[in-house]
Chains A and B, each alone.
Chain A
Amino acid sequence: MIVALLAVPFCGALLLLLVPPHRLGLRPGAAGAGAAGAERYVRAVGLLASGGALLLAVLVAATFDYGQPRRMARVVDLSWAPAIGLRFHVGVDGISLPLVVLTALLTFLCLVYGQDRHQSRALTGLVLLLEVGTLGTFVALDLMLFFLFLEAVLIPMYFMIAIWGGPGRRAAASTYVLYMMLGSGVLLVGLLLIAVHGGTLDMVVLARRHGAGLSHGVQVAAFGLAGLGFAVKAPIWPLHSWLPDALTEAPTAGSVLLAGVLLKTGTYGLVRIALPMAPAGARTWAPWLGLLAVAGICYASLACLAQRQLTRMVAYSTVGGMGFVLLGIATLTPAGTNGALFGNVAHGLIIGLLFFAAGSVRNRYGTGDLDALGGGTTAMPPRLAAMLGFAAVAGLGLPGLAGFWGELLALLGAYRPAAGLPRPAFVTFMAAGGLGAVLTTAYFLRLLAGITRGVVPVAREEVRAHEYAVWAPLVILIVAIGLWPKILLDLTDGPVRALLGGG
């Protein structure tokens, strides 16, 4: 079933990218009708492929054995390139399942949302390719396979920014690729270190060993290199500067997928690979990771306070949101790691909603500048303002909504970090994280004030049905896992304890 999950969007992407529509009997636009037909065809293929993937992801989730979230389910293990020991080894457990569903959902919503003028064959194809790469990253159980999928994501994202982006797209795209390549380089070295010294590429086996067989030095080097690679993708302060530009310039679908899903591959990799396979290295590097995470939280919230641009503010908030995830991981505790995984999913939902809402504002007013918008809930379609408001409230971590639990658990983890970590340092991180949370509230309130003060002299355009269709599932999920965090925590708690080597 997992193979099908990857194959469906992949086939859709191939169909769109390689087979021109006129080969299927749709004549290219001599008349308007032909162009419209081609557009409908693109839309149909995109929706079918991503909808099929979502259906399969939901099926995987529905048939998952919730009594045993630690066990890898739906495992497929085929030999691929025996010469280098590469296997096509995939499966899902409680850690990857929520992210798989999140990826499938956000991709589907992106294609439902569409782009008024950007909707094109190539863009839809790239979105589907992106989905394949991300899903593959989350289900891969072979180190090389994981790396291949992770790299496969870069190319479609690059083109999405470089071709369909805003005015500064070229610089943003090249910065993005440069960072990603450097990250991937060190990441690959780290993975190879683990693989060569561990003698296998099997992630399940390596995780179960908890670093046995790897000398302390190798572990420190491996965690340092792989961790750096993942951290760049997360991103961690001060290696974040590719993100705000990329998110600001990318088209809405690109921003949603980049912030909502792609960043999560970095933190997922930390939890899935770096933490269990090089635990001694993790203990060495954790305080530094925590320090940078907290610095990122405070730095990003301050940077947000000074932003005038709606999308740019949301973009910087991503650095802060991921900072809490990284802080949770840095504590090396089950609580912190659960919080990180919870935060991953919650942040994906919330940031998706924020970018969708910001995209709707941009489409209507042609600008995201808070000063130019001047605000005016009265002039905005009321539901749009309410949606931005809801997303902002969720983003500031209000209890009862998804964003709260990730932050809470990350801070709780920092209050009592794993044995062997310097507790005073982590308690300081906790306090700074709390301060960052207050500053986060401040800028989200500023955002709210920005969009609700004054009057916009633009005629209001009602919210359309497809926009509601995109927002509704996100809102429902944010409320659902916010009110009932047990859904996710039950899933992740078991596997996280296993990964960290506890009972």
Chain B
Amino acid sequence: MIAFAAAAIAVPFAAALTVLLPPGRVRWTGPAVHITAAAASALLTLVVAVALWRDAGVRTGTLAVAPTGTLPIGIGLYVDRLSAVVALMVGCVAAAVQTFAAARPASTTEAGGSHRSFAASVSLFTAAMLLVVYAGDLIVLYAGWEVMGLCAYVLIGRRGGDGDAGGGSRAAAVKAFLMTRAGDAGFMFGIFVLGVGARTFSVRGVLAHHYPHATALAGASLLLAGVVAKSAQFPLHTWLPEAMVAPVPAGALMTAATMVPAGVYAVARLFPVFLQAPGALAALAVVASITMLGAALAALAQDDLTQVLAYSTISQLACMAASLAAGARDAAILYLLAHGAAAALLFLGAGCVRAMAGTIRLPGLGGLRLAMPVTFWSMTAGWAAVAGVPVAAGFFGKDAIVAAVQHAAIGGAPRPAEASGAMPAWAAVLLYVTLLLTVAATAAYATRAWLMTFFGEPRGRAPGREVREAPPLMRWPVAALAVPALVLGFFGLGSAGLRPEPGPTAVLLALVAAGAGAAFVVWNRDPALDPARVLGRRPRTVLERGFSVDAVYGVAVVRPILALARLVATADDRVVAAAVGGAGRGVRRLGGLLRATEGGNPQAYVTGLLAGVAVIAVVVVVFT
């Protein structure tokens, strides 16, 4: 059982290593090996998930224990239902992404690079995420967590071959890596706090331990730093929209299955610790409130479809964080799965659109409904899931989240399945209000993007260019992902905590209808124009720039650090060296006799030697 989980990690890792083999000489280094590996890995995660479905017991296995001098590090895995379902999602999305990427190698190949290094990065990314999901030891989890940062750096740093991704990708990659790594420092310290507190780094031990309040608060808050960075939550979210210069399959993998969901997963994994720290939950609630509404509004104003999806991802991840803050882990995970399928679908669908229509900017799209029916229907399912339209999977997830947050905010029937999320009341109310606004805004931007892509008149396209459906290897993964995006929600009905309740469901449906309806009404007035025009020009620019958080970082963080760095470098060249040089000259004068050896040559050695002997003689005499 554990062996299957280990194999699910090892197979894509081994596939990633094939990139080290010399190209050409060995046959099996092509995309086929990566697709096979991803499919095998998905199958293995499925086996694990089925085994856990039939028997919910926790399985652990430890390969080796490395001593460290204090707490040992156990290189092992920990599989329960939570990790099993998330791993299954990761495996499936990775398989879809590998297939899609192989269908269009040109879109992932930069000048001088090759598709196989792209595919290898994706394989490594998958292995790292599965390691995070199945990790049985917090240090092992951290290892996978960091490796993902590097994979994201590599993938974002590649320029897409479709021409519309410019040279900003290297800067975007650096930003993504640095931002997430800054958060990771906190995450590592959080692991220290929890590990030392529980006297073990093993996940089982940490989950079972009851911490003193201060320890739990410190540990959970530090973990949150890493979570906020990885899941692109405010204020460390700005790397994700910029990362969309990456090839589309990389974006799909990153936002749907690896990296970004990892943050929320980490909170879910260590949820018992967070429940012991209401302060940390409140912090999470505030972060989630700001993020989900801000990102949803920003998504409303974006022109680029991938930017819409990036802000949408940020906003949806914040919804999951909100659910966790309200104490409802199952709802968050259900939504994580639903969103994983939907986001991967939408990204890959956007890739189909870019490949076929030649652009991804919404004002240049339109009327693709008839030309690309498979993509249209698949993406319709995806947008429905994101917006929360029944009976797509996202509806059930979002419904459960609204219900949980509502109960936390204004009371009501206590949920049987979950422990009491002891978030302060003010945070719960804030969360509830922003959640409702977000639901409406989400429905609005989903409708806008959907309408502008597929309905109305074809716009801005070069005349004579025939738009056709995407090739099979591209549209099949998209269509396949539509299945979980539609039916996944029904699996949640087995759990009492996830069944729709009349009150929250009515609120949710009303808001979705309002948001979608508003977007439709505005669009319908003139389908040739962008519905976002009603925002007004000034506010729209603010939203489009994502509230200019980046500019703030530039002024407040980047420039001071670089200035400080230059200062240090100069100081090191001049001041320290001069001071020490002066001291050196002083010593030589003390040595006295051979002052003429200023030039610095072998005589200096003799000088120093004599000075040293003199000092030694004096000190030995004094001390003995």
Contacts and interface: CB of A to CB of B under 8 A. Distances in A.
A503 to B, nearest CB: 12
A241 B580 contact: yes
A178 B181 CA distance: 40
B150 A393 contact: yes
Interface string B592-603: 000000011110
A175 B584 contact: yes
Given A175-B584, A438-B178, A493-B68, A238 B576 contact: yes
A412 B565 contact: no
B196 interface: yes
A306 B69 contact: no
Given A185-B615, A189-B616, A333-B70, A441 B177 contact: yes
Interface stretch (B83-91, B140-148, B310-318, B467-475): B140-148
Interface in A62-77: none
Contacts of A299: 568, 572
B189 A178 contact: no
B68 A338 contact: yes
B128 to A, nearest CB: 9
A399 B143 contact: yes
Contacts of B181: 437-438, 441
Interface string A391-425: 00100001110001000110111011000000000
Contact of A486 (B66, B142, B174, B566): B66
A196 to B, nearest CB: 6
A148 to B, nearest CB: 14
Interface in A205-243: 221, 238-239, 241-242
Contact of A408 (B174, B188, B564): B188
A489 interface: yes
Given A306-B565, A445-B174, A438 B608 contact: no
Interface string B50-92: 0000000000000011111111010100000000000000000
Summarize B's interface: helix, strand, loop or mixed: helix
A411 B584 contact: no
B612 A185 contact: yes
A189 B615 contact: yes
A171 B578 CA distance: 13
B1 interface: no
B600 A170 contact: yes
Contact of B142 (A305, A307, A399, A452): A399
Interface in B558-572: 561-562, 564-566, 568-570, 572
A238 B572 CA distance: 9
A154 B604 CA distance: 13
B401 interface: no
A306 B174 contact: no
B493 interface: no
A188 B611 CA distance: 13
B395 to A, nearest CB: 39
A380 to B, nearest CB: 10
A204 interface: no
A158 B192 CA distance: 43
B185 interface: yes
Contact of B67 (A241, A412, A490): A490
B471 to A, nearest CB: 30
A335 interface: yes
Given A170-B601, A185-B611, A306 B568 contact: yes
B170 interface: yes
Interface stretch (A33-41, A101-109, A428-436): A428-436
A484 B140 CA distance: 12
A61 interface: no
B619 interface: yes
Contact of A416 (B143, B196, B602): B196
B557 to A, nearest CB: 11
Interface residues of B, number: 65
A189 B569 contact: no
Contacts of A171: 600
Residue from B65, B111, B620 with most neighbouring chain A CB atoms (10 Å): B620
B587 interface: yes
B112 A241 contact: no
A399 B146 contact: yes
Given A185-B615, A415-B189, A303 B572 contact: yes
A167 interface: no
A438 B189 CA distance: 13
A175 to B, nearest CB: 7
A48 interface: no
B143 to A, nearest CB: 3
B147 A497 contact: no
A409 B68 contact: yes
A497 B69 contact: yes
A47 B10 CA distance: 39
A184 interface: yes
B112 A377 contact: yes
Given A412-B68, A416-B70, A434 B185 contact: yes
Contacts of B189: 411, 415, 430-431, 434
Contacts of B185: 434-435, 437-438
B170 A449 contact: yes
A398 B242 CA distance: 23
Given A178-B604, A378-B111, A399 B178 contact: no
A485 interface: yes
A79 B75 CA distance: 47
A175 B64 CA distance: 47
Contacts of A6: none
A415 B177 CA distance: 25
Contacts of A404: 143, 146
Residue from B174, B568, B601 with most neighbouring chain A CB atoms (10 Å): B568
A350 interface: no
A234 to B, nearest CB: 16
B612 A188 contact: yes
Contact of A178 (B565, B602, B608, B615): B608
Interface in A296-331: 299, 302-307
A404 B568 CA distance: 26
Nearest to B142: A399
A400 B128 CA distance: 10
Contacts of B64: 484, 486
A377 to B, nearest CB: 7
Contacts of B150: 393, 398
Contacts of A452: 170
Nearest to A170: B600
Interface in A427-480: 430-431, 434-435, 437-439, 441-442, 445-446, 449, 452-453
A184 B143 CA distance: 40
B182 interface: yes
B569 A306 contact: yes
Given A306-B568, A307-B569, A333 B69 contact: yes
A348 interface: no
Contact of B69 (A158, A182, A438, A496): A496
Given A241-B576, A486-B66, A497-B69, A453 B608 contact: no
Contact of B605 (A158, A189, A335, A442): A158
Given A378-B112, A382-B112, A486-B66, 15 more contacts: A174-B599, A174-B600, A174-B604, A178-B587, A181-B612, A241-B572, A306-B566, A335-B70, A415-B193, A431-B189, A437-B185, A449-B170, A453-B170, A486-B67, A490-B67
14 contacts: A174-B604, A175-B580, A177-B608, A178-B608, A181-B611, A182-B612, A196-B620, A303-B568, A335-B71, A382-B112, A393-B150, A412-B192, A441-B177, A445-B177
List the 7 closest pairs (A to B, CB-CB), nearest first. Answer: A334-B69, A174-B600, A181-B608, A185-B612, A399-B143, A306-B569, A305-B565
Interface of A: 154-155, 158, 162, 170-171, 173-175, 177-182, 184-186, 188-189, 192-193, 196, 221, 238-239, 241-242, 244, 299, 302-307, 333-339, 377-378, 382, 393, 398-400, 404, 408-409, 411-413, 415-416, 430-431, 434-435, 437-439, 441-442, 445-446, 449, 452-453, 484-486, 489-490, 493, 496-497
